[in-house]
Structure 1
Amino acid sequence: MIRFENVSVTYDGATEPTVQGVDFEVPEGELVLLAGPSGVGKSTVLGAVSGLVPHFTGGTLRGRVTVAGRDTRTHKPRELADVVGTVGQDPLSHFVTDTVEDELAYGMESLGLAPDVMRRRVEETLDLLGLAGLRDRSIATLSGGQQQRVAIGSVLTPHPRVLVLDEPTSALDPAAAEEVLAVLQRLVHDLGTTVLMAEHRLERVIQYADRIALLPSPGAAPLLGTPAEIMAVSPVYPPVVDLGRLAGWSPLPLTVRDARRRAADLRQQLEGRDDNALKGRGAVVDLRLPPRDRDQSKTPTHRRWFPRRRTPATPTTSHTAEVQALAVTRDRVRALRGIDLTVTPGETIAVMGRNGAGKSTLLNTLVGLVAPTTGSVTVGGAEPHRTPPRDLVRRVGLVPQEPRDLLYADTVAAECAAADADAGAAPGACRALVSELLPGIADDAHPRDLSEGQRLTLALAVVLTARPPLLLLDEPTRGLDYAAKARLVALLRDLAAQGHAIVLATHDVELAAELAHRVILLAEGEVIADGPTAEVVVSSPSFAPQVTKILAPQRWLTVAEVREALA
């Protein structure tokens, strides 16, 4: 169905090809996972299938890519639209209508399908992706994860023979991600749809893949094989594979179920050590909140706004931020209710919950973009919505979910220079952070030409240059591979040790397990759980990391903890 014949792509101004030696075939009715570190050209390979590369991106494509017999060099994206459905990393760039139902119908209208066929397919897709309750909603009012599901739905309704998906679960909560992947699996198995998908969160998708095409490094030819074959040599791998390597299991397990069946001996070796390993995890957490009553929401906070100014690491109050009896009503929808929370210096909090639970509203309230309907919010002793931006940036900094909102210069070097100047930092401070988090980003690269993960890294470095006392990160691992995530975790741990408070809005359960002292779960605008990470995630089937599921009832969170205990 998809055929790459010795394909290479070189973008205008580049001295070396972004990808080369791409030569493999994706048969009809297979799901092939495109894997590899950030920046190796996965999005370029996907773009070559849909015709976006080179017709939209520019550059030179050598070799040949055919989809259902059509050569993408001679067929532009609109001439492939009836065969290929594409969802990129940024769903907002795909939307052309205002409401969910209209967006699901738009692609079919463009293909001239009959109204009765369109109606039936819209209803099927609304049910498949759990969007029925949002059918009349404006797309602009949806959360990032809800928008991601709409974007996926909009390419499913025309029933394309090929689906090309770039990080399709990156903005989804664990339950929604499972639903979407289950839908893809049904399309592959029952309808013979061909799927080529890139995804960094391998723990979510590897069990669904028939084969993996691994791009091991920039410009290297891909390796194609079964998931077990590729995971044995891959530089990127999920925790279940990491644990299998540590335990010496062969063949390596790819699912929690496989690993649990082989983990009896490992559990015996670890018997009685888990409490000691996790003993310090909640040491800096301030849990002075009153016991949570079922009818009163006691909540956590999040911030999502990063300053570009240097601020003292010592906050002016005993708490970095406080939220009391917060309620927010937007567009006649009760987005938050009864939220109480304190954030203390040196504390790392992960705020989690399904898409649309109120996480973004809470963040927007904390940074002053949304005023409380009732209750109060203070950050560094000031009310965010009443504080001028020049003063607010001295208290809090945010890495937004959409990095482009923070980036405006023409090159990486110019962006970093502006960040140094705004933060009052030594020249080169921002650039050093970029190199530390994700080596290989060129000074003269334009931010819009970077991958999603690279743009996120640049935005993160811009914000961290100022070292504000409260750091807010909205989905900070979106688009990052495991190595980049590990570097991010190390950096944030260092900042927390210096007294910075960190609040993460994330669907990445592995990140929360690795980094957070405390986890707060939101649902329908209320706090449903608030406590030490080990207590909250171990008791949650949806938010437990892979290691926890494999080694339960022992309370391990990460492979690093297991490795240290065995040593």
Structure 2
Amino acid sequence: MIRFEQVSVTYDDTAAPALGGVDLTVPEGELCLLVGPSGAGKSTLLGTVSGLVPHFTGGTLHGRVTVAGRDTRTHRPRELTDVVGTVGQDPLAHFVTDTVEDELAYGMESLGVAPAVMRRRVEETLDLLGLATLRDRPIATLSGGQQQRVAIGSVLTTHPEVLVLDEPTSALDPGAAEEVLAVLQRLVHDLGTTVLMAEHRLERVVQYADRVILLPAPGTAPVIGDPAEIMAISPVHPPVVALGKLAGWSPLPLSVRDARRRSASLKERLASSGLPHEAVTGARGLAPNSGDNPPAQATGLTIRHTHLTALRDVDLTVNPGETIALMGRNGAGKSTLLRTLVGTHRPTTGSIRVGGLKPHSTSPAELLRHVGLVPQEPRDLLYADTVGAECEAADGDARAEPGTCRALVDDLLPGVSDATHPRDLSEGQRLALALAVVLTARPPLILLDEPTRGLDYAAKERLVEILRGLASDGHAIVLATHDVELAAELAHRVVVIADGEIVADGPTAEVVVASPAFAPQVAKILAPLPWLTVPQVQAALEAPEATA
């Protein structure tokens, strides 16, 4: 169905190819997973299938890519839309209409589908993706995850032979991600649709893949094979694979179910370690009460918009040195709470304070000294022509020592030069740059909205270390995330929001283990033992008490 023949791509103003040595075939009716570190060329490879590379992106394409027999060099993207459906990392760049139902119908209108067929497909897609209650909503009022589902749905209605998906579950809560992946499996198994997907959250998708394509680094030839074989050599792999490597299991498990079947001996070793819960998990108690002036405090906070109540009677105190993970379904109110903390929304009722100030009535220059937000869309913070210029501007705005922002960029994105334009970075790289810009000011309160979206596991580990360092220095951190592994690794507290209300608030281990939706892979595999992450398991196995 998709054939790459000695394909390489070199962008203008770059000496080295972004993609090189690609010679492979993706058969009809397979779900093929594309993996590799951030910036390895995954989005470029996907773009060659849809024709976006090089027709829209520029650069030079060597070799040949054919889809259903059509050469993408001679067929522009609009001439491939009947066979290729594409959803990129940024759903906002995908939309051409204002409401959900209109967006689902637009692609079919472009292809001249009969009205009766259009109506049926719209209804089917609304049900498949859980969008029926949103059909009349303006797209601009949806959460990032809801927009992601609409973008996927608008492609599914055209019934393409090939689906090209770039980070399709990155903005989705665990339940919505499972629903989308179930739909993709049905398309592959029942209709013979070919799916080529790039995804960093491998814990969600690797067990469903028929084949894995590994891009080790920019410009290097890919490695193709069975998922378990590729995971054994891949520099990026999910926690279940890391646990399998630590335990010496062969073949490596790809799902929680497979790992649980092999976990008996490992659980015995861990249970006999004799270590207390705090020692084995590295658990820290909640940060002490900060007194009269915490970094952030909400009391009876309610936010109403024209169409809905986004937050309802929220009470929340954030203490110095505390890391809180906000979790919940897409549209639950997590992003609204973060935006209220930076003054975007004025409380309808109740009150909110940041460093003792009312954020909605404080000037941005003053607020910058108290709170910083990394939004879901990093481009909202990036306006300069080069990475170096962004860093210089961030240093100036924060009145920081020259080179402060650049040092943070080096920690998160090693190897990215000052001359690189932010638009030439991958989505994950742009997010890391935006994070560095915000962290330059080192505000007492740091807010992050889906901070690991687009980040590979290595970049996530570097992010965790930076945030841990900031927390140990007394910074309070609040992050809205669907990444259960990040919450298990980093957060002191987990706050679960549903329909604008806080429904759970407590220590991470208690909250995530109590919820199957938010439990990390290690917790599911080793239950009822208290371990949440692979590093915790490794520390327990290496402890003197465990080896005595």
TM-score range, shorter chain: over 0.9
Render the CA deviation track for 1:60-82: whole Å, top value 9, x for unaligned.
00000000000000000000000
Q: 2:220 matched to 1:220?
A: yes
Render the CA deviation track for 1:283-332: whole Å, top value 9, x for unaligned.
1335x7xxxxxxxxxxxxxxxxxxxxxxxxxx995411110011111114
Shift of 1:281: 2.4
Q: Secondary structure at the match of 2:218?
A: coil
Shift of 1:366: 1.3
Cα distance, 1:548–1:201 mapped onto 2, change above 3 Å: same
Residue from 368, 377, 385 that aligns with 1:393: 368
Cα distance, 1:161–1:108 mapped onto 2, change above 3 Å: same
Shift of 1:279: 6.7
Q: 2:337 matched to 1:335?
A: no
Residue from 277, 280, 288 that aligns with 2:279: 277
Cα distance, 1:74–1:4 mapped onto 2, change above 3 Å: same
- Give the partner amino acid of 2:492: H
Q: Secondary structure at the match of 2:529?
A: coil
- Give the partner amino acid of 2:185: Q
Contact 2:368/2:441, CA 8 A, preserved across alignment: no
Contact 2:35/2:42, CA 8 A, preserved across alignment: yes
Q: 2:314 matched to 1:348?
A: no
- Give the partner amino acid of 1:284: L
- Give the 5 Å matches for 1:72-471: 72-271=72-271, 272-273=274-275, 275-277=277-279, 281-285=283-287, 318-471=293-446
Q: Secondary structure at the match of 1:415?
A: helix
Contact 1:281/1:532, CA 8 A, preserved across alignment: no
Contact 2:293/2:356, CA 8 A, preserved across alignment: no
> What runs of 5+ residues in structure 2 fail to find an aligned partner?
543-548
Render the CA deviation track for 1:487-523: whole Å, top value 9, x for unaligned.
0000000000000000000000000000000000000
Q: Secondary structure at the match of 1:232?
A: helix
Cα distance, 1:21–1:274 mapped onto 2, change above 3 Å: farther
- Give the partner amino acid of 1:276: E
Contact 1:285/1:532, CA 8 A, preserved across alignment: no
Once residues 317 and 59 of structure 1 are traced to their aligned partners in structure 2, the CA distance between those partners, rounded to angstroms, is 57
Once residues 528 and 243 of structure 2 are traced to their aligned partners in structure 1, the CA distance between those partners, rounded to angstroms, is 17
Between 93-102 and 322-331, report the one with greater CA deviation.
322-331
Shift of 1:362: 1.2
Q: In the alignment, what sits opposite 2:462?
A: 487
Contact 1:410/1:446, CA 8 A, preserved across alignment: yes
* Structural RMSD (CA): 1.2
Once residues 296 and 168 of structure 2 are traced to their aligned partners in structure 1, the CA distance between those partners, rounded to angstroms, is 34
Once residues 542 and 517 of structure 1 are traced to their aligned partners in structure 2, the CA distance between those partners, rounded to angstroms, is 19
Once residues 410 and 456 of structure 1 are traced to their aligned partners in structure 2, the CA distance between those partners, rounded to angstroms, is 16
Q: 2:489 matched to 1:514?
A: yes
Once residues 327 and 436 of structure 1 are traced to their aligned partners in structure 2, the CA distance between those partners, rounded to angstroms, is 38
Shift of 1:274: 6.2
Shift of 1:444: 1.1
Contact 1:420/1:427, CA 8 A, preserved across alignment: yes
Contact 1:86/1:155, CA 8 A, preserved across alignment: yes
Render the CA deviation track for 1:423-474: whole Å, top value 9, x for unaligned.
1122111111111112121211111111001100110111111111100000
Contact 1:441/1:454, CA 8 A, preserved across alignment: no
Percent of aligned pairs with the same residue? Answer: 76
Render the CA deviation track for 1:322-349: whole Å, top value 9, x for unaligned.
1001111111412111110100000000
- Give the partner amino acid of 1:179: E
Shift of 1:527: 0.7
Q: In the alignment, what sits opposite 1:57?
A: 57
Q: Secondary structure at the match of 2:224?
A: strand
Cα distance, 1:326–1:492 mapped onto 2, change above 3 Å: same
Contact 2:99/2:138, CA 8 A, preserved across alignment: yes
Q: Secondary structure at the match of 2:158?
A: coil
TM-score normalised to the size of structure 2? 0.97
Contact 1:285/1:518, CA 8 A, preserved across alignment: no
Cα distance, 1:266–1:59 mapped onto 2, change above 3 Å: same
Shift of 1:388: 1.2
Q: In the alignment, what sits opposite 2:535?
A: 560
Once residues 3 and 292 of structure 2 are traced to their aligned partners in structure 1, the CA distance between those partners, rounded to angstroms, is 61
> What runs of 5+ residues in structure 1 fail to find an aligned partner?
289-314
Shift of 1:273: 3.7
- Give the partner amino acid of 1:334: T
Contact 1:320/1:345, CA 8 A, preserved across alignment: yes
Once residues 209 and 255 of structure 1 are traced to their aligned partners in structure 2, the CA distance between those partners, rounded to angstroms, is 11
4+ runs deviating over 6 angstroms: none
Cα distance, 1:519–1:278 mapped onto 2, change above 3 Å: farther
- Give the 5 Å matches for 1:41-56: 41-56=41-56
Q: In the alignment, what sits opposite 2:546?
A: none
Q: Secondary structure at the match of 1:246?
A: helix
Shift of 1:282: 4.0
Contact 1:277/1:561, CA 8 A, preserved across alignment: no
Q: Secondary structure at the match of 1:261?
A: helix
Cα distance, 1:36–1:260 mapped onto 2, change above 3 Å: same
Q: Secondary structure at the match of 2:494?
A: strand
Once residues 219 and 500 of structure 1 are traced to their aligned partners in structure 2, the CA distance between those partners, rounded to angstroms, is 40
Q: In the alignment, what sits opposite 1:304?
A: none
Render the CA deviation track for 1:362-393: whole Å, top value 9, x for unaligned.
11211111111100000000011111111111
Once residues 281 and 245 of structure 2 are traced to their aligned partners in structure 1, the CA distance between those partners, rounded to angstroms, is 26
- Give the partner amino acid of 2:155: V
- Give the partner amino acid of 2:159: H
Q: Secondary structure at the match of 2:452?
A: coil
Render the CA deviation track for 1:20-57: whole Å, top value 9, x for unaligned.
00111000000000000000000000000000000000
Q: Secondary structure at the match of 2:414?
A: coil
Contact 1:348/1:502, CA 8 A, preserved across alignment: yes
Once residues 440 and 133 of structure 1 are traced to their aligned partners in structure 2, the CA distance between those partners, rounded to angstroms, is 45
Cα distance, 1:115–1:405 mapped onto 2, change above 3 Å: same
